[in-house]
Structure 1
C-alpha cells in the first residue's frame, strides 16, 4: 500500500524496498494506492520500482479515494466495490506467487 506523495510513492517506501533488495527477488505484489486521486500516480510508479528488484506486479490494483473510502479523511471505510477489487488483486497475487515459487527454490 502506498500513499501518493509528489506524484509518486513515498521516500520511506522506496528506502524500504532498496534496503531489502534481495528479499524481494522473484516474488509477486499487488499495488494499493490511496490519496485525493486514489494514489493513481504512485500506483503507476511503484511497479517500475518493484520491477528493478525482480518483483512481478499483478494487473489488478486498488485505488482508494480519501473522500470516498475514508471517513473524515482518517477512518478507513472503503466503498462496497473495493472489496471486489481487493479480492481480484489478492487472487492474482496468490496465483503469481505460486507460479514464481520454483524460481525461489
Structure 2
C-alpha cells in the first residue's frame, strides 16, 4: 500500500505500478513473500507502544483526579485528547521507520 501510494504521485510513464495487483506481483517477484511484509514487525512494535502509552497515561491521569468516577465529561474528553496526542508523538518514530522499510526494495 505504501509503495503504491508513493507511486501514484508520479506521471503516467514514470509509474512503476499500474495497479494494486501489478504492485503485489512485482514486489513478490523481486523480494519474495517477505517483501510484502517488510516493516510489519516495526509497525506492530509501534502499535504496542502507542496502546501501552495510551492506557498507561489515561489511567494515571484519571487516577490523579479527586473523584475519578464523577468527573465531568469535558475533563474526561480533555484527558483523552491529551493522552492520544502524547501517545501518538511517542509512537510516531516507529511509524516513520516502518514506512521507510516498506519503501525499500531488494
Normalised to the residue count of structure 2, the TM-score between the two structures is 0.30
Structure with larger RCO (C-alpha < 8 A, sep 6+):
2
More strand by share: 1
More helix by share: 2
Q: Which has the larger radius of gyration?
A: 2
